[in-house]
Chain A
Amino acid sequence: MDWFLQQTINGLGLGAIYALIALGYTMVYGVLRFINFAHSDVLMLGAFTGFYVAPRIEKIFGHQSVMGMIMVFVLAAVVCACLGMLIERLAYRPLRNRPKLTVLITAIGVSLLIEFTAQHEKVFGAAPQPFPSLLKEHSIRLGNLVISSNDVLMVGVTVFLLAGMWWIVQRTRIGTAMRAVSHNQQAALLMGVPVNLIISFTFGLGSALAAIAGILYAIKAPGIEPLMGVQPGLRAFIAAVLGGIGNLPGAVLGGVLLGLLETFAGGIPELSNYRDAIAFGILILILLVKPAGLLGRATVEKV
C-alpha cells in the first residue's frame, strides 16, 4: 500500500509536467489542426533559458529565493513565447492553406533544425549540464511516505497554471476568440476575429507553458542537453492524443494518466525497459476503440 501511494505521488509530479506540455500540443492542434513537432524543442529551449538566466537572477534576488525562482519561470516563459510565435510566423504561417502533410513535415524539419543547431558545440553542445537548483529541496515525511518538495512544486505550479489557462480560455475575450477559431476558422474570420493574431497568441501561450514545464523537468532531471525534450515531448504528445487532441481537459487527463503509468511501470523491474512501448501500446489500443481519444468528440465527415 505504501509502495502504491508513493508511486502515485511520484507519478502525479511527472504527470503534471506531461499535462503542461500536452496542453501546448493540444491548443495548437485546436486552432491549426496539425501536430507541432517542434513543441518538445521549445521545452528544451525553455530549460536552457532557465539555465542561463538563473545565475544572473540569483545575484539580484539571492540564492534559492522564491522570488528568484518565479523570475526564472517568467523570463523563460517570455523568451519561449516569443520563440514560439517566431516559429509560427516564419515556418507555419506561409503554409497555412497547404495540405496538412506539408505542414507536418515542416514541423519535423523545424524540430530537427533546433535540435541539431543546439547540439552544435558553439551553441549548447551535446554534453549534459547540471541544472542549477532554484529552490532548496526538502523531504516531507508522512508516515512511511516521502514526498519531495519538488513534486509538490510541480503539482502546485501545474494546478496554478491550469487554473490560469481555464480562466484565459473560458473567461476572457481572447479565450473566446481562441475557441471560435478552433471551432470554425472561416466563420471566426467573418465575425471579425483576428485569426492570425489569435493563432500567434495560442503559439505563445503553448510555448510559455512548455518553457515552464521544461524548467520543472530540468529540476528533476540529472542534467539538461539539447535532446532532453524528445522523451517528455513524445510522451506528452501521446498524452494529448490519448485524451483527445484539441481537447484541453483531455490533455491534462492524458498527461496525469501517462505520468502515473510511467512511474508504475518503472517501479516494476521487468517492465521498466518497455515503458515507451507500453505507453504507445495503450495509445494504440485506445485509438482503436475510441479513435478521437478519451474525451474527444468523434466528427462525422461530410462530403
Chain B
Amino acid sequence: MPFPGAKRWLLVGIALAILASYFTPQFNRYYLGVVIDVGIAIILATSLNLINGHTGQFSLGHAGFMAVGGYFSAWISLQVGASAPAIWYFPLALIAGGLLAAFVGLLVGVPSLRLRGDYLAIVTLGFGEIIRVVAQNTEAIGAASGLKGIPKFTTLGWTFGFAAVTIYAVTALVNSTYGRGFIAVHDDEIAAESNGVDTTKTKVTAFVTGAFFAGIAGGLYAHHKQFLSPTGFDWLKSIDIVVMVILGGMGRTAGVIAAAILLTLMPEFLRDFSDYRMILYALLIILLMLLRPAGLFAFNFKRRKHS
C-alpha cells in the first residue's frame, strides 16, 4: 500500500469530486475552466511521473498519447451523438480513449524501450510527432482544421475523480511488490537485471500505464475544450508535462501534483504580462535546473527511503 488508509483517501477524493460537481453551477465559469485544467494537468503529470520519475526513462511523447485518447474519445462521442445519456457512455468513451492510447503506448514502447537515455527521448519525441502528423492529415478527425463540436461532458467530478484514480493507481503500483521493479530499474538498470527484474517488461508496463492515463486526460481535455487541434499536441505540450515532473521532483507524487497545479495556474496569474509570460517560463526552467535540479519541493527531511 502507498501509505495506511490509501484506499480510504481514494474514496474520499472521489466523494469530494462528486460532491463538488453538484455545486458546479454556482462557480464562475472561468474559474471552473481553470480548475478543470488543473485536474487534467495533475493526471498528465502523475502518469508521466510513473515513466520519467519512478522508472527513470525519458519520454518526450506524452502529448502524443494524450492526443490519441482525446481524438478517439471525442470521435466516439460524436458518433454516439445525443442518442445515449452522457453519464453512461462518457466514462466508457474516456476509457476507450485510454485503452487505445495504452495500445499505442505498447506499440511504441516494445521496440523503443530497448534504447536508453537520449535515444529513448528522441524516439518518443519522434512518435509524438508522427501521431501529430497523422492527426493533421486524417480527414475523419478534422485534419489540420481540428475537430469541432465535441459535447461538453467534462465536469469537475469526472476530472478530479479520474485524477484521484490516477494518483491512487500510480502510487499503489509503485509501492507494490511488482512496482519495486520500477524503482530498481530507475536506480540501476544493470543491477536490476542481474537481480532477476525483467527490465524490458517493467519499462513497457510503466509506459503503457502512463499512456493509458494520458489518454484519459486527453479525453477529458477534448470534452472540456470542445475542440481539438493537432497543433495543440506538439512537442511543446510534452515539454510542459516534463517540466511539471521535473519541477515537482522526479518520482515524488506530491511534489509533481503541486507542480502541476502551480504551472497551470501560473499563466493565469501572468495574464497581464502575457508578452513576457513564455520568456519567464523558459527562464524558470533554466534557473530551476541550475539551482534546484532535484525539484522545487525537494527538502532534505523528505529524503526518499529507497535511494
- In the complex, which residue of chain A has the Cβ closest to the Cβ of B286? A109
Chain B residues, CB < 8 A from A105: 242-243, 246, 285, 289
Among B275, B283, B285, the residue within 8 A (CB) of A120 is B275
Q: How many Å lie between the Cα of A115 and that of B279 in the bound state?
A: 9
Interface residues of A (CB under 8 A from B): 34-35, 91, 94-95, 98-106, 108-110, 112-113, 115-117, 120-121, 237-238, 241, 245, 273-274, 276-277, 280-281, 283-284, 287-288, 291, 301, 303
In chain B, positions 77-113 with a C-beta closer than 8 Å to chain A are: 111-112
Among A34, A110, A277, A301, the residue within 8 A (CB) of B129 is A277
Chain A residues, CB < 8 A from B290: 91, 94-95, 106
**B117 interface hit (Cβ, 8 Å):** yes
Chain A residues, CB < 8 A from B283: 109, 113
Secondary structure call for the B interface: helix
- In the complex, which residue of chain A has the Cβ closest to the Cβ of B285? A109
Known: A104-B121, A284-B123. A113 touches B286 (CB 8 A): yes
Among B127, B136, B279, the residue within 8 A (CB) of A117 is B279
Among A98, A110, A273, the residue within 8 A (CB) of B293 is A98
Q: How many Å lie between the Cα of A281 and that of B133 in the bound state?
A: 12
- In the complex, which residue of chain A has the Cβ closest to the Cβ of B143? A273
A109 and B279 contact, CB distance less than 8 A: no
Report which residue of B115, B118, B190 has the largest number of chain A beta carbons within 10 angstroms of its beta carbon.
B118
- In the complex, which residue of chain B has the Cβ closest to the Cβ of A114? B282
- Enumerate the 4 nearest inter-chain pairs by beta-carbon distance, A residue then B residue, closest first: A109-B285, A280-B126, A113-B282, A112-B282
A273 and B133 contact, CB distance less than 8 A: yes
Chain A residues, CB < 8 A from B133: 273-274, 276-277
B289 and A102 contact, CB distance less than 8 A: yes
B307 to chain A, nearest CB (A): 13
**B72 interface hit (Cβ, 8 Å):** no
Chain A residues, CB < 8 A from B246: 105
Q: 0/1 per residue, B188-204, Cβ < 8 Å to A? A: 00100000000000000
Among B127, B136, B275, B285, the residue within 8 A (CB) of A108 is B285
Q: How many Å lie between the Cα of A241 and that of B122 in the bound state?
A: 9
Chain B residues, CB < 8 A from A116: 278-279, 281-282
- In the complex, which residue of chain A has the Cβ closest to the Cβ of B280? A116
Chain B residues, CB < 8 A from A115: 282
A296 to chain B, nearest CB (A): 10
Contacts A106-B286, A116-B279 known; list 18 others, CB within 8 Å.
Answer: A94-B290, A101-B58, A101-B117, A104-B121, A105-B242, A105-B285, A105-B289, A106-B289, A113-B283, A116-B281, A117-B282, A120-B279, A274-B133, A276-B133, A280-B130, A281-B126, A284-B112, A291-B115
A89 to chain B, nearest CB (A): 13
